[in-house]
Structure 1
Amino acid sequence: MNAPTPNQAFSAARQREVAAALDRILPDGSVLFNEEDTRPYECDGLTAYRQLPMVVALPQTEEQVIAILKACRELQVPIVPRGAGTGLSGGAMPIADGVVLSTARFNRILKLDPYARTAVVQPGVRNLAISEAASAHGLYYAPDPSSQIACSIGGNVAENSGGVHCLKYGLTVHNVLKVRMVTTEGEVVELGGESLDAPGLDLLAVFIGSEGMLGVVTEVTVKLVPKPQLARVIMASFDDVAKGGDAVANVIAAGIIPAGLEMMDKTSSRMVEPFVNAGYDTDAEAILLCESDGTPEEVEDEIGRMAEVLRASGATAIAVSENEAERLKFWSGRKNAFPAAGRISPDYYCMDGTIPRKQLGLVLNSIADMEQRFGLRCANVFHAGDGNLHPLILFDANQPGEFERAEAFGAAILELCVEVGGTITGEHGVGIEKINSMCVQFAPEEREAFFAVKRAFDPAFLLNPDKAIPSLHRCAEYGKMHVQRGLVKFPDLPRF
């Protein structure tokens, strides 16, 4: 047994006690407690925040999950459920003196029914693996996060993940029919059903997006959709980001729902183009990627209508993919925007907020003003069709004070999202990253309603505690921090 290191918040005796209890449940090699084994679990995709876990449990059957949860409840040990660890809000960061329960070994596709167009999968199955398995039947799973090659369906359920095609096909909540999960008391509960609706309260929608705070997923039934006969994408250039933002609203206002509608500013396209050679117009202040899918006749008509709207909205250039290879090339830049950021900056902080489409131009220009205010660059690449922003704040963690400025920059963007009628997250979740921003968006009564739901599922408050829902004390402290020049930034919001 290793001696605790300075960033461990647990005693060696407590660690031995918990590890021994879990060892009686799991096979050899399934309980990790040495630092070199637990270090990979200290954070998720939000690497700025880290906590070494006391113990990591790697079950591979539902019976083992039940036994782990019962043992942890008896020992009063907090549990953090973890999927592939690709989340970007710190939702899977360990809790001090707690157990990380990884579902990575739940990686089997249990059933694929091409007639019902459903798949029953374990939570550790990769998002893309579902589509790969369904491909032989001309089907696929629609939600496609940028991390789909690695992210797991259990994590997608926890965060209600989306992707570039969520505008037309919906988020995880629109593509999951049933979830089988285990409560902290070790009770197995099935939410939803295999039909379009299920009797009783719609607890499935409550559970999806709950960030591992209500139960541990052991099985998911997803909807599959037919592959479209054809898909083509328009790349439209704009000499002003506000024009690009207005064009997004105009496309939707014209009654067109594209399969995907994404936007990248000049900083984003210039950082991505050398990385993937997607053919982006790097002189444009903004580019839109607008995809149409369906029958060849439907696609031809919709591409023509979208091109007409884009030209009327001020597009300076329009290119349309001529074949599947070119379509995938256009999308490759958008899909690789995050890794491409490493070409121009040592570190980046990826934000996630959602705003009304009509406010895109205003918010993008405001973010440009914030770059001067905080002295940091920001690349904007996002799901424009549903107003889901993903600003990439570029900074160097080796420079004193830069990360703190990046955090403040991100908080200012989220407050602006709320100010214009939006929300602080679209698909990344709250986790620990946005917990203070929840104080800006929700009143005490609303947060108490959230806690009431939490108590109904997890009365012991052992599942992912201190995440997503801020306490009254936290909001009181955050409120004190946000009185600037003697003025409250949002005087119409409740103060604590």
Structure 2
Amino acid sequence: MSVTAQTQPSRQVAGALRSQLVAAIGESGVITDPGELRTYECDGLTGYRTIPAMVVLPRSTQEVAAAVKLCAQHGVPFVARGAGTGLSGGALPVSDGIVIGLSRMREVIGIDPDNARMTVQPGVTNAGISVLASPYGLYFAPDPSSQIVCTVGGNVAENSGGAHCLKYGFTSNHVLGVTFVTPDGSIVHLGGDNADSIGPDLLGVIVGSEGTMGIVTEVTVRLLQRPESVRTLVADFASVEQAGHAVGDLVAAGVIPAAVEMLDNLAIQACEEATGAGFSRDAAAALVVELDGFDTECETDFDTARRVCESNGTTHIRVPESADERALIWKGRKAAFAAMGRISPDYFVQDGVIPRSKLGPVLTQIAEMADEAGLRVANVFHAGDGNLHPLVLYDARHEGEADEAEHLATAIVELCVRTGGSISGEHGIGADKACSMMKMFTPDDLAVMKRVRQAFDPDGICNPGKIFPTPRLCGELPGPYRPHPLEAAGVIGRG
């Protein structure tokens, strides 16, 4: 269901607060024009839109802190925003609040190649870090498909992964420290120059918190050495079940590929229309398998990968003959989401996780659910760690079809939970999957999470309305607060 909100800037933010923000950030860094505000009404989840009352564009940690402090003083909610490529509504504005856009914060604060680390502002792009590190033979391992445009601040907020997270892990495995503005405008430093810091792991709390506990304004990332050798193959299969079995068998054989990506036929068709990357249009599914490491290790694992694919009935194996051909294969895979416009006017993209051993049965069930709903679902995803990205295709011009597509997308995510998985692997919960949190967590689980959030943001002004189910979104029964029996007995307190 499309959610749209449009309000005029409230009196609360239209007067004194605007003047104070202009004084702190400058006239060019404060946006109130209704037309310009529409640029910030949604992120990559375009079905949810809210026009904010104001947008501010700081350039430094001090300017972010000044803006947050003014919001806290006036009791005005704020939402941090990077490049707006998020897919869960995590950067959806609040209609009477402020968007703090970090797109102007693109400075590289320092590169330390000897210790393989770099410190940047949050507006530096994911791919940009690797470009800057390349002269030193280093790179940044997390590689979400939107890496050319998505920013490291957003990667930290969502704990993004990408195709190579199977071997190298998520953003949380590559962030050493952050500078962080708390919801009262204080500036703190979490983590440091080393992988392990003394004391509570507050950095671990912040990474993946979806901007609900404050705003990251500087990030120190860990860099890796470029591997000595890289080998890639594309294996076609006559069914998604065979491809799924191949993934499980590959890992069971003791091979940990850098990446294993799967595309079903709908995804292949879209990618080929957009990029001409050379995927076989008649394949029911294709696996992109990439191995890296030392030369001898790569060759051994590559031979194993080929044998595993053959034993699972591959119909064709393509091995790129040059770096350019390998890059084209990855261009096709990473263009998949954008390419869906070639085969459908609209789509919902979801993000759930299942055990690798259940890839085949779950993909079959998704196809059955799509047939029952009268819709198509394209699948392109990180098969190696079971992180599904089903794309539910629909046409918003047909009455009711958008609602049907959203219901199917939600049902697929909740199927992942029933199968022993999770409602999100890397896209986050945001506004999109808040209602599904109750399918995965108990009321006690959610209460503990809320208390952690309240410890950082007691006034609830930092990216409100995200992650946790609310009566407005999820149809919970409203009513007066009912204390827990332990609270009534004086054993515990209310956060």
Give the TM bin, normalised by the shorter chain.
over 0.9
Provide Cα deviations, 1:315-339, integer angstroms capped at 9, x if missing partner. 2221222221121122111111011
Worse-matched range after superposition: 18-27 or 158-167: 18-27
**Which AA in structure 2 matches 1:84?**
A
Cα distance per residue 1:235-290 (max 9 Å; x no partner): 11111111111111111111111011000001111111122111111111111000
Q: Deviations over 1:430-481 (max 9, x none)?
A: 00010111111111000001101101111111100110122478656399xx
Indicate the residue corresponding to 1:71 in structure 2.
70
Q: Which residue matches 1:493? A: none
Q: Distance in 2 between matches of 1:6 and 1:450?
A: 28
2:143–2:164 contact (8 Å) kept in structure 1 = yes
Task: Report the number of matched residues.
Answer: 475
Partner of 2:242: 243
Q: Secondary structure at the match of 1:25?
A: helix
CA 1:9 to 1:454, structure 2 compared with 1: closer, same or farther past 3 Å?
farther
Aligned position for 1:386: 385
Structure 1 position 12, deviation (Å): 5.0
Alignment of 1:36-115 (within 5 A): 36-115=35-114
Question: Structure 2 length normalisation: TM-score?
Answer: 0.93
* Aligned residues of 2:5 and 2:95 also touching (Cα < 8 A): no
Local SS of the residue matching 2:76: coil
Aligned-pair distance for 1:14? 3.9
**Structure 2 contact 159–207 (Cα < 8 Å) conserved:** yes
Structure 1, 409-418 or 462-471: larger mean CA deviation? 462-471
Q: Secondary structure at the match of 1:115?
A: helix
Aligned match of 1:212: 211
Letter in 1 for 2:62: E
What is the alpha-carbon distance in structure 2 between the residues aligned to residue 6 and residue 432 of structure 1?
Answer: 14
Post-superposition CA distance 1:15-62 (Å, at most 9, x none) = 234322312211121110111121100000111110001010111121
Residue of structure 2 in register with 1:25 after alignment: 24
Q: Quick one: structure 1 residues 13 and 473, their matched pair in 2 at CA, closer, same or farther if it must change by over 3 Å?
A: closer
AA aligned opposite 1:180:
T
- Report if aligned partners of 2:261, 2:383 keep a CA contact under 8 Å in 1: yes
What residue is the counterpart of 2:292 in the other structure? 293
| Residues 1:188 and 2:190 are matched in the alignment | no
In structure 1, C-alpha distance between the alignment counterparts of 2:426 and 2:230, rounded to whole Å: 25
Measured in 2, the distance between the counterparts of 1:338 and 1:471 equals 30
Determine the structure 2 residue equivalent to 1:312.
311
Alignment partners' CA distance in 2, 1:476 and 1:352: 23
**Comparing 328-337 with 146-155, which one deviates more in the overlay?**
328-337
Deviation sequence 1:170-225 (CA, Å, 0-9, x none): 11001111111010122212221211210001111111010000111110000111
CA 75–139 in structure 1, closer or farther in 2 if over 3 Å, else same: same
The whole-number CA distance in structure 2 between the counterparts of 1:349 and 1:69 is 33
- The letter of the residue matching 1:310 is C
Q: For residues 205 and 312 of structure 1, what CA distance do their matches in structure 2 show? A: 41
Describe the SS at the equivalent of 2:380. strand
Query: Does the CA contact (< 8 Å) of 1:238 and 1:314 recur in 2?
Result: yes
**Matching residue of 1:231:** 230
Equivalent in the alignment of 1:153 = 152
Q: Which amino acid aligns with 2:377?
A: C
Secondary structure of residue in 1 paired with 2:210: coil
Q: Distance in 2 between matches of 1:420 and 1:478?
A: 28
Unmatched 5+ stretches in structure 1: 480-496
The share of aligned pairs that are identical, in percent, is: 48
Shift in Å, 1:398: 1.5
In structure 2, how many angstroms separate the alpha carbons of the residues matched to 1:6 and 1:437? 22
- Distance in 2 (CA, whole Å) between partners of 1:292 and 1:400 is 46
2:221 paired residue number: 222
Distance 1:471 1:44 in 2: 21
Aligned to 2:323: 324
Contact 2:177 2:220 in 1 (8 A): yes
2:167 is matched by which residue type in structure 1? Answer: K
Root-mean-square deviation (CA, aligned residues, Å) is 1.6
Partner Cα separation in structure 2 for residue 291 and residue 167 of structure 1? 11
Given that 2:12 and 2:74 are in contact with CA atoms closer than 8 Å, whether structure 1 keeps it comes out as no
Matched, 1:11 2:10: yes
CA separation in 2, counterparts of 1:317 and 1:270? 17
Which letter maps to 2:435? Answer: N
**AA partner of residue 133 (structure 1):** L
Q: Distance in 2 between matches of 1:302 and 1:127?
A: 29
Letter paired with 1:469 = F
Q: State the secondary structure of the residue aligned to 1:370.
A: helix
Taking the aligned partners of 2:374 and 2:22, their CA distance within structure 1 comes to 51
Mapped pair 1:162 → 2:164: no
Q: Tell me the distance in 1 between the aligned counterparts of 2:156 and 2:94.
A: 21
